[in-house]
């Protein structure tokens, strides 16, 4: 499968068209961006690590019946994926309070939530990806129906249950994560984008050491070492 044209460039990936109109090639970049857009960096090999980590996680989830856009890995940095229309929502699932939840509501950092919280954020960089509720989503036409929102919530919770158990067995706490979904030409909702330490928070179960992008966001260093450790545990 050959790349034809660059169709889209995001912060972490480039998407290329192929000779099959229903398939794209996703190339994982080494760039890291912080939420305020001021700090920027890159880690050699980060793209290849996220490609491996995300592939393992997507394959695990598909064993549990979650439909994903992943077709197969093509190279260190490339995946072949199904073309979908991305639903412009970031679906965030949280098990432990930290990050923006702590800032917004003052819930103490590290509080274990009584049940998993699912939130929707409108994917719009100019607006800073604001938190939205169901009615915002419907009024703005971000999804077709209330039913789609319920499907996204259900998928978010299913993914969370599978991954919490998987990572618990590898001494990692899945603190929270962000997923994105797309609609394929048949109208099916597929898990899209990636699941990696760029889009999840992983804390070591014993030391609470952060093994994710917060190492970059908070200037803790050793970003690549942490991502390699996450991959090592996934493969263990």
Task: Enumerate binding residues for ligand ASP (CB under 6 A).
Answer: 11, 33-35, 213, 217
Partner that binds at residue 217, options ligand TMP, ligand ASP, none, CB closer than 5 to 8 Å by kind:
ligand ASP
Residues 134 to 193 in contact with ligand TMP, rule: CB under 6 A:
176-178
- Residue 164 CA to residue 120 CA, distance in Å, equals 20
Alpha helix (H) ranges present in the chain? 46-63, 99-105, 134-139, 146-168, 214-217, 223-235
Residue 7: burial class (beta carbons within 10 Å; 0-12, 13-18, 19+): middle
Rule CB under 6 A: say whether 201 interacts with ligand TMP: yes
- Minimum distance, C-beta of residue 217 to ligand TMP, in the bound complex (Å): 9
Binding mask 37-76 for ligand TMP (x = CB under 6 A): ----------------------------------------
- Give the nearest distance from C-beta 186 to ligand ASP in angstroms: 30
CB 194 within 8 A of CB 180: no
User: How big is the CA angle at 203 (ends 201 and 128), to the nearest 5 degrees?
Assistant: 20
Taking CB under 6 A as the criterion, the residue among 35, 37, 85, 111 binding ligand TMP is: 35
d(CA 207, CA 169): 15
CA-atom Rg of the chain in angstroms: 17
Q: Report the residue number, 78 or 176, with the smaller CB distance to ligand ASP.
A: 176
- Choose the stretch contacting ligand TMP; rule: CB under 6 A; options: 36-44, 76-84, 196-204, 221-229: 196-204
Binding residues vs ligand TMP (CB under 6 A): 35, 92, 99-101, 129, 176-178, 199-201
């Amino acid at each position: 499968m050959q790349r034809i044209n660059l169709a889209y460039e995001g912060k972490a990936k480039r998407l290329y068209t192929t000779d099959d109109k229903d398939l794209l090639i996703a190339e994982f970049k080494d760039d890291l961006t912080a939420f305020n857009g001021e700090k920027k960096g890159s880690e050699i090999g980060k793209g290849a690590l996220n490609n491996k980590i995300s592939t393992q996680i997507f394959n695990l989830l598909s064993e549990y019946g979650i439909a994903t856009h992943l077709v197969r890995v093509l190279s260190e940095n490339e995946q072949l994926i199904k073309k979908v229309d991305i639903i412009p929502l970031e679906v965030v699932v949280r098990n432990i309070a930290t990050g923006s939840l702590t800032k917004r509501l003052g819930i103490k950092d590290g509080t274990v939530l009584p049940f998993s919280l699912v939130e929707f954020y409108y994917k719009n960089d100019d607006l800073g990806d604001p938190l939205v509720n169901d009615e915002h989503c419907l009024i703005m036409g971000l999804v077709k129906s209330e039913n789609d929102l319920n499907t996204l919530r259900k998928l978010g919770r299913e993914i969370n249950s599978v991954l919490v158990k998987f990572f618990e067995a590898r001494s990692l706490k899945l603190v929270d994560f962000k997923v994105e979904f797309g609609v394929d030409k048949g109208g099916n909702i597929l898990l899209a984008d990636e699941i990696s330490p760029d889009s999840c928070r992983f804390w070591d179960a014993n030391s609470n050491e952060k093994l994710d992008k917060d190492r970059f966001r908070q200037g803790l260093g050793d970003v690549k070492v942490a991502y390699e450790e996450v991959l090592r545990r996934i493969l263990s």
